[in-house]
Amino acid sequence: MPELPEVEMQRRYVDAHALGQEIGGVGAADAGVLSGVTRKDLRRALVGQRFVTTHRHGKWLFVGTDCGPWLVMHFGMTGELLYYGDGAFPTHVRFRVDFRNGARLAFIDPRKFGAISLTDSPSEFLAARRWGPDPTHPGFDREAFRAVLRGRTGCLKSVLMNQRVIAGIGNLYADEMLFQAGLHPEARAADLKRSTVDALFDAMQAVFAASLAVGTDYASLPGQFLLRYRDFAGVCPKCGRTLASAVVGGRTTRYCARHQRRRS
């Protein structure tokens, strides 16, 4: 679930519910999702603080406190947040923030591929990991997209999913933007004409915007989106042909062999 649009929804969720409340404690931390921090570090950094702002870069979410470090979250494959009060008992809570007003913010992650950390500076945190640019941030235009793809020799899909090239695209959205742009997942990034790269950029922006417009509820997307069909119907929304299936970049890939070309 959590690729760039889903993490953006989590960011908005924090903004809508979890800002401005004094933190009384942190609990239920599963060491499996703690990345470079201990429960004690989290307690010391967060207790007495209030969350005041959020920032998202690719699939990373940063939640800023009024005068402490930022809480860093990555949702892995199954992570999500839940803000709740008395009477709710969510399962798979790997980390929890307890506010003094009685409300709680839980990081729920059954598969435990998520991560919780702390940083004094999101930009330094991202730079230390050599993360690529976020394609939805201001300034990331067609030229910037051409620049990050330049000289890349791998499969187009693998390049798009490489977070150090560009941050935020995972398996599903890579498939979707390639489908929208009519490009084969195994096309070579370096073979693409400039106009094709620009078309892929436009498809990427359109896909993110469309998904956010429906709150990442794929069933509400228009009919021409692969996201609606890849799991159950398995047919191309444009021509009705059975979708092709392959493993590209180590992940299950669906595409329409008729509409998606290797060269363009």
Partner DNA sequence: AATTCCTCCTGATAGC
Partner DNA sequence: TGCTATCAGGAGGAAT
Task: Count the Cβ atoms, other than its own, within 10 Å of residue 89.
Answer: 7
Identify which of 1, 5, 28 has the alpha carbon closest to the alpha carbon of residue 211.
5
The site map against DNA for 176-205 (x = CB under 7 A) is -------------x----------------
User: Does residue 146 belong to the site contacting DNA (CB under 7 A)?
Assistant: no
Q: Which stretch binds DNA (CB under 7 A): 8-16, 40-48, 71-79, 177-185?
A: 71-79
Question: At 220, is the secondary structure helix, strand, or coil?
Answer: helix
Nearest-angstrom CA–CA distance, 211 and 139: 21
Binding residue (CB under 7 A) for DNA from 50, 57, 59, 259 = 59
List beta partners, residue 99: 23
User: Does residue 28 belong to the site contacting DNA (CB under 7 A)?
Assistant: no
User: Does residue 105 belong to the site contacting DNA (CB under 7 A)?
Assistant: no
Nearest-angstrom CA–CA distance, 141 and 204: 11
Angle between helices 171-181 and 194-213 (to 10 degrees): 120
SS3 content of the chain, % helix, strand, coil (to 5): 35, 25, 45
User: Does residue 32 belong to the site contacting DNA (CB under 7 A)?
Assistant: yes
User: Does residue 10 belong to the site contacting DNA (CB under 7 A)?
Assistant: no
Binding residue (CB under 7 A) for DNA from 43, 113, 144, 244 = 113
Nearer Cβ to DNA (21/117): 117
User: Does residue 150 belong to the site contacting DNA (CB under 7 A)?
Assistant: no
Binding residue (CB under 7 A) for DNA from 218, 228, 235, 244 = 218
